[in-house]
Amino acid sequence: MWKMVGDGKLDLIWGVQTPDKDKGMVPIQVALTDGLVGQRVLLIRPEDQKVFDSVNSIQALRETELVAGFGEGWFDAKVWRTNGLPVYEFPHQFSLIYSMVSIGNRGVDYLPRGANEIVTEAQQHKRLIIEKHLLFYYDRDMRFYLSPHAAAYKPIVENALKAAEASGLKRRLIDRAFGSDIKALNLTQRRRIQLQVLD
């Protein structure tokens, strides 16, 4: 899909902001989730909760030697590597990786997932649980990108998003879409661990 945007076959896409995307496409300079996408909670095997109970830093997570699972080429895989954490990138259909984690002998131990998606995923994958205490976060968000062929629409889209932000509409939409999940995760009560991001 990103290639299609670059080639002008799609006009608009959204994704985590990166300098490469900012250079290759036309970025809309308005964050879409107020940082929610940069907050990661872990989907784990129930028996591993005791291991994560003692994690209070990046170094402590490194020392567990547990391996995080991501789709191939995902931005989060780069973030985890930047922080010296072991990563497994799955080159096939990502839905298969949940079973790999739950089985426990496939070289992948946990899945960092967005606070906006993990509650639904935990309900779908009953052999995994949401880790109880940790919140990993980094300073990035989703944004819209226009194809260079659709660059003329940038002020229209940007102004509409800024108006939605100023009126409180964006906040209401985020609360409607993710409010109950955020409440269930007790994000403000979790042990916050910041991840470094290299541009």
Q: Which of 150, 157, 39 is nearest to 165 (CA)?
A: 157
Beta bridge partners of 192: 135
Instruction: Give pLDDT, residue 22.
Output: 92
Say which residues have a Cβ less than 8 Å from residue 164's Cβ, sequence separation at least 6.
170, 173
Domain with CATH 3.40.190.10 in the chain: 36-137+187-194
Using the predicted structure, report yes or no on whether residue 37 has a pLDDT greater than 80. Answer: yes
Using the predicted structure, report yes or no on whether residue 198 has a pLDDT greater than 90. Answer: no
Instruction: Report the C-alpha gap between 181 and 173 in whole angstroms.
Output: 14
Torsion angle of alpha carbons 96, 98, 104, 106, nearest 10°? 30
For residue 113, the one-letter residue type is: R
Instruction: Give pLDDT, residue 8.
Output: 87
The average pLDDT across 16-40 equals 92
* Count of CB atoms situated within 10 Å of the CB of 54: 10
158, burial (CB in 10 Å: exposed 0-12, middle 13-18, buried 19+) = middle
Q: Can you give the pTM of this predicted structure?
A: 0.87
C-alpha to C-alpha distances, 151 to 14, 18, 20, nearest whole angstrom: 15, 18, 17
Using the predicted structure, report yes or no on whether residue 199 has a pLDDT greater than 80. Answer: no
Q: What is the mean pLDDT of the chain?
A: 94
Instruction: Give pLDDT, residue 85.
Output: 98
User: pLDDT, tens digit, for every residue of 142-179?
Assistant: 999 999 999 999 999 999 999 999 999 999 999 999 99
Beta bridge partners of 37: none
Homologous superfamily of domain range 36-137+187-194: Periplasmic binding protein-like II (3.40.190.10)
Place 93 in a pLDDT band, splitting at 50, 70 and 90: confident
Using the predicted structure, report yes or no on whether residue 49 has a pLDDT greater than 80. Answer: yes
Instruction: Give pLDDT, residue 176.
Output: 94
User: pLDDT, tens digit, for every residue of 128-141?
Assistant: 999 999 999 999 99
DSSP string, 22-50: HHHSEE--S-SSTTGGGEEEEEE-GGGHH
Q: Which of 84, 26, 77 is nearest to 58 (CA)?
A: 84
Instruction: Report the C-alpha gap between 80 and 168 in whole angstroms.
Output: 33
Instruction: Give pLDDT, residue 156.
Output: 97
Token pair of 104 as six digits: 């426990």
Q: Which of 37, 113, 106, 33 is nearest to 70 (CA)?
A: 113
Instruction: Give pLDDT, residue 94.
Output: 86
